């Protein structure tokens, strides 16, 4: 076949200077830098500010320095964009200097354990062809992304912390369960995944298992129908209704048919014995509590859908970039994903935040924060 000969237009946005709360870089300085070229009709001393520039504004092309700074390749010191930006700023820029948003990122990671409610989810990623994982920790006002080489509970211990006292939305996955059980975390496992597993039982070859799965689905529908009408009830009415639906569901799920798949599902709602390591005393723990916290705590969602939605743009990025090739690329991606998702949650302009962050770095000023308030 003949190659596609259709013409393609490629647009490149360029920026001359960076204006922020600390200082303003004038084109007098930029025009004296090697590689900086003033556009015709632009007077010296005139600065560029993204706050007032629009998509078609000529100020976005005042200096011949391509704004490829959002590209992960720009973090490589050998890349032309990094070299041009270094000449314009008057100092060498590396992966840790530009685009990493290091201060704001670490400020968010330190705030994670102090939140009242969090969510956690992960998806696969590749670094130099080897499988890694993108972990997403979400709070009401921010989202933090972290790339790790493991999917174990160690990541949750590092990000969420073993002393976390709030509620944590999770998928029912071995590492998540281990973290919740070992550190007494108030987990809320995802009902969307549970219902998917129950639907799987509807196609089981055993007729009793199919019937059991159908009754569980019917009980789930009744329960969520009542939960969605909670605004029409009094607080005491909601509590009574939820207790009734919870107990009826537990009565059914704890009496499974004699098949392996049914027994595995029922085990999620068992009452298990444990030994306290400090006192060596025995106790009992009801695993079903980690599925029904949303009924009795304000603001707790029964699913982990929000975290999955936050990971969606990471999955799209993964398909386009095919992963990373080193440590600097991983740090770049997780910090940029964090800034983009958090600015969207807070209804902030991401490019203005990025501009202020770069300016603060160049001027040794305090970096802008991604924390609300």
CATH number of the domain residue 334 falls in: 3.30.420
Q: CA dist 101 to 51, 107, 241, 247, 367, Å?
A: 19, 10, 48, 49, 8
Question: Where residue 2 falls among pLDDT bands split at 50, 70, 90?
Answer: low
Overall size of the chain counted in residues: 373
3-state secondary structure of 165: coil
**Mean pLDDT, to the nearest integer, of 148-158?**
95
**291 and 309 assigned to the same domain:** no
Paired tokens of 269: 């709602």
CA–CA dist 73, 111 (Å, integer): 30
CA–CA dist 227, 170 (Å, integer): 20
**226 and 263 assigned to the same domain:** yes
**170 and 25 assigned to the same domain:** no
Residue with the bigger pLDDT between 83 and 210: it is: 210
3-state secondary structure of 147: strand
**152 and 287 assigned to the same domain:** no
Q: Provide the pairing of β-strand 167-170 with 117-127.
A: parallel
- What percent of the chain has pLDDT above 70? 73
Residue 2 lies in a domain: yes
The last residue of one of the domains, among 36, 69, 98, is: 98
pLDDT tens-place string over residues 7-22: 666 665 554 444 444 4
What's the pLDDT score for residue 14? 52
Residue 351 lies in a domain: no
Q: Which helix (H) or strand (E) holds 120?
A: strand 117-127
Residue carrying the six token digits 């330190």: 110
pTM of the model: 0.76
pLDDT tens-place string over residues 25-39: 433 333 333 444 444
pLDDT tens-place string over residues 286-329: 999 999 999 999 999 999 999 999 999 898 988 888 888 988 88
- Please give the residue range of the domain that contains residue 315: 101-188+303-346
Please count the structural domains in the chain. Answer: 3
């Amino acid at each position: 076949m003949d190659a596609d000969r259709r013409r393609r237009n490629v647009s490149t946005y360029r920026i001359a200077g960076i204006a922020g709360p600390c200082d303003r870089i004038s084109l007098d300085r930029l025009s004296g830098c090697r590689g900086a070229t003033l556009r015709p009709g632009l007077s010296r001393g005139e600065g560029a500010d993204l706050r007032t520039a629009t998509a078609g504004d000529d100020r976005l092309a005042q200096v011949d320095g391509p704004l490829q700074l959002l590209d992960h390749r720009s973090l490589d010191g050998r890349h032309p964009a990094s070299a041009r930006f270094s000449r314009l700023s008057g100092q060498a820029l590396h992966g840790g200097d530009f685009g990493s948003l290091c201060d704001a990122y670490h400020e968010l990671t330190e705030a994670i354990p102090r939140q009242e409610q969090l969510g956690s989810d992960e998806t696969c990623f590749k670094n130099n062809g080897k499988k890694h994982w993108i972990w997403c920790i979400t709070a009401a006002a921010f989202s933090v992304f972290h790339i790790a080489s493991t999917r174990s509970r160690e990541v949750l211990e590092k990000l969420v912390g073993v002393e976390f006292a709030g509620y944590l939305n999770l998928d029912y996955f071995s590492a998540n369960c281990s973290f919740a059980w070992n550190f007494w975390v108030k987990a809320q496992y995802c009902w969307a995944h549970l219902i998917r597993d129950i639907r799987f039982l509807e196609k089981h070859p055993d007729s009793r298992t199919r019937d059991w799965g159908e009754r569980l689905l019917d009980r789930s529908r009744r329960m969520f129908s009542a939960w969605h009408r909670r605004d029409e009830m009094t607080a005491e009415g909601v509590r009574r209704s939820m207790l009734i639906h919870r107990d009826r569901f537990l009565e059914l799920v704890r009496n499974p048919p004699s098949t392996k798949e049914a027994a595995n599902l029922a085990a999620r709602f068992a009452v298990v014995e444990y030994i306290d390591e400090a006192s060596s005393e025995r106790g009992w723990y009801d695993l079903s509590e980690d599925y029904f916290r949303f009924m009795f705590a304000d603001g707790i969602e029964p699913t982990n859908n929000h975290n999955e939605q936050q990971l969606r743009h990471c999955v799209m990025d993964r398909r386009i970039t095919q992963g990373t090739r080193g440590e600097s690329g991983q740090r770049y991606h997780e910090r940029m994903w964090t800034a983009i998702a958090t600015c969207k949650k807070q209804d902030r302009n991401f490019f203005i935040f990025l501009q202020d962050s770069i300016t603060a770095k160049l001027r040794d000023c305090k970096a802008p924060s991604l924390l609300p308030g």
